[in-house]
Structure formats: structure tokens, C-alpha cells
């Protein structure tokens, strides 16, 4: 079987198979489209984060297109979850850069030396990881989110009883932050927003990485509560 055929099969799975994958806990694609004030979201990436967060959005009634190697998702929605290893972001920018313009891009990737290379890790530390993503995906509105802990915590803690778990997000575009905040709520968490320059604080290796906190506690850690 050729690579093209394999790629086509993968795309068919993520486009059509996602509904079946989440059928026991989510509305159908048709039902999702019938819900008012819902978004069309493209998910690039076939790993744990993309599947987990995308699945929670499907459950909330959003229309979600999953795309693995070929980002048809860029033409699908105004919101894109780029759930790929961080080294793939420069590659996506090189191949599809103009298609990101005007999109709200939610970036849950962390730069890791052994996977993404020392040079890219150094770049994220020198510029800040949020600014680095924004520098590659020019013209988009980047919001860093869902990168502060393992996907297993999102699986376990979504829509928990009592105070929801807080998700730190970072962005500079007011509308993008507003939309991302709503998507965090729809996934079953509480958003706590800071400027994009502070994204490094909850990236892997930062002081707030891996912290399971309530919204009040996270706002205190960010110094947002006087």
C-alpha cells in the first residue's frame, strides 16, 4: 500500500472515525452542528492531547475535524488546536503558513530537547514559548493552553464535581483569549488568563507546570489576586 493511500486512510479515520470513537459519550456530528453558538474547530495532530481535548469539545456540542498529517483542519474552522510535537510548528508554518492567518490557534505543545532539538528549545527559552509560536504562525492569534500537565489529568479532572481544575492560558488578542476561555470551560475546566509573555511560567520546566489548582489558587500563584 502506498504512503498516499495510508495517509488517505488516516485522514478518513480522524475525520469520520472520531464521531464513532466518542459516540458513547458525545453527540453525533449532526447534533453538534444543530447546537447554537457552537464553533467549528480543526484539530491538527493525532496524539493524546488532540484526541482528549477534541473529544471533550465534541461532547460539548462543537463541530470538530480531526486531521493527522495533512491539516485539512485549517480550511475547516476558525479555531485550530495544533496538537503536535513542538518541532512540527516550524514545519507547519513553512508548508501552510498563510492558511493560519486570521485563525485563533490554541497551542498545547511543549518544547523538549530530546524530541524537538536543543536549538528550538533554546529559542523558546530566549523568546518565550508563546512569542516563539507566534513568530512562526504569523498573522494568527495564538493562545497557549492545555500544555501545563499530562493529558491523563485532563481525562480524570474534566467536569469534576466542586471547584473545577484551573487551566492557565496565555494570549494577547482579546477575542482569541475570550474564545479560548469559553472552550476551556466547555471542556470542563476553569480558565485563568495571562498575557502571552507569561506562557513560559506554565510551560514544561516552568514553576506552574504540573500544578493541579483551583482557579482561585492559580490566580494567586500568578499574582492576579490583590
Cell of 39: 464553533
| For residues 57-80, average pLDDT | 91
Does the global pTM surpass 0.85? no
Q: Kindly write down the DSSP assignment for every residue of 39-75, as one continuous string.
A: -EEEEE--SHHHHHHHHHHHHTT-EEEEESSS-THHH
Residue 8's pLDDT band (boundaries 50, 70, 90)?
Answer: very low
At 104-162, the pLDDT tens digits run: 999 999 999 999 999 999 999 999 999 999 999 999 999 999 999 999 999 999 999 99
Contacts with 110 (C-beta within 8 Å, 6 or more apart), sequence order: 86, 129, 147, 203, 204
At 156-200, the pLDDT tens digits run: 999 999 999 999 999 999 999 999 999 999 999 999 999 999 999
Q: Are 119 and 111 in contact (CB under 8 A)?
A: no
> What pLDDT shows up at residue 37?
77
d(CA 146, CA 41): 15
Cell of 154: 485532563
At 24-40, the pLDDT tens digits run: 233 333 333 333 479 99
Contacts with 5 (C-beta within 8 Å, 6 or more apart), sequence order: none
With residue 182 as reference, give the H or E element that holds it.
helix 174-186
User: Taking the CA atoms of the chain, what radius of gyration do you get in angstroms?
Assistant: 17
Amino acid at each position: 500500500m502506498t504512503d498516499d493511500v495510508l495517509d488517505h486512510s488516516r485522514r478518513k479515520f480522524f475525520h469520520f472515525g472520531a464521531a464513532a470513537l466518542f459516540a458513547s459519550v458525545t453527540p453525533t456530528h449532526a447534533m453538534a452542528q444543530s447546537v447554537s453558538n457552537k464553533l467549528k474547530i480543526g484539530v491538527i495532530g493525532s496524539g493524546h492531547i488532540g484526541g482528549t481535548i477534541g473529544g471533550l469539545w465534541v461532547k460539548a456540542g462543537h463541530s470538530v475535524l480531526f486531521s493527522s498529517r495533512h491539516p485539512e483542519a485549517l480550511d475547516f474552522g476558525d479555531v485550530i488546536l495544533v496538537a503536535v510535537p513542538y518541532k512540527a510548528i516550524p514545519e507547519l508554518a513553512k508548508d501552510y503558513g498563510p492558511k493560519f492567518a486570521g485563525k485563533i490557534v490554541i497551542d498545547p505543545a511543549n518544547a523538549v530537547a530530546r524530541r524537538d532539538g536543543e536549538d528550538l528549545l533554546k529559542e523558546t527559552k530566549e523568546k518565550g514559548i508563546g512569542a516563539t509560536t507566534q513568530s512562526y504562525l504569523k498573522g494568527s492569534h495564538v493562545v497557549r493552553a492545555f500544555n501545563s500537565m499530562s493529558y491523563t489529568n485532563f481525562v480524570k479532572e474534566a467536569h469534576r464535581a466542586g471547584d473545577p481544575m484551573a487551566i492557565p492560558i496565555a494570549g494577547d488578542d482579546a477575542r482569541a483569549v475570550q474564545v479560548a476561555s469559553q472552550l476551556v470551560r466547555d471542556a470542563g475546566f476553569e480558565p485563568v488568563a495571562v498575557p502571552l509573555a507569561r506562557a513560559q511560567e506554565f510551560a514544561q520546566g516552568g514553576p506552574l507546570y504540573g500544578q493541579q489548582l483551583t482557579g482561585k489558587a492559580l490566580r494567586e500563584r500568578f499574582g492576579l489576586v490583590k
